[in-house]
Structure 1
Amino acid sequence: MSQLHLFDIPNPCLGICQTGDKGYCIGCFRKREERFGWQNLEDAQKLYVMKLCEQRKKRALKKAQEQHD
């Protein structure tokens, strides 16, 4: 059974829409398929994608920090 949400899950797009070297958008950290299929995803899938994006962002920030040091 799918969990009900009182509010729509917002699209995480930041309007940058450029693909980085790992194949993720450098703004929202979604893959191409995740960006283009966002409207067709169920809420649980959107939440999962957002969790993946947060993990990707943390890895990218960590890598950038390591390269800076």
Structure 2
Amino acid sequence: MSAVASPCIGYCKLNDDRVCAGCFRHVDEIAGWQEKPDTEKQTIIERCAERKQGFTQ
């Protein structure tokens, strides 16, 4: 089992940039999540946090 959990919160809606409004992952980061190595998952989690900080509604 992976040590890095999916950031999915069950609110899946992609914006025009193809970024999920729930977890802030790009569609390319969502695809194949389970097969990605933990180091890549951690990098994606960090990118999501950056996107979330820059998010405005």
TM-score, structure 1 normalization: 0.73
- Counterpart of 1:48 in structure 2 is 43
**TM superposition shift of 1:8:** 1.6
Show the 5 A alignment for 1:1-69: 8-60=3-55, 63-64=56-57
Following superposition, the deviation at residue 22 of structure 1 comes to 2.6
How many residues were matched structurally? Answer: 56
TM, length-normalised to structure 2: 0.87
Q: Which runs of 5+ in 1 are unaligned?
A: 1-6, 65-69
Higher relative contact order (CA 8 A, sep 6+): 2
Q: Give the superposition deviation at 1:36.
A: 1.6
Moved over 6 A (4+): none
Deviation at 1:37, TM superposition (A): 1.5
Higher helix share: 1
RMSD over aligned CA atoms reads: 1.4
Task: Provide structure 2 residue ranges, at least 5 long, that are not aligned to the other structure.
Answer: none
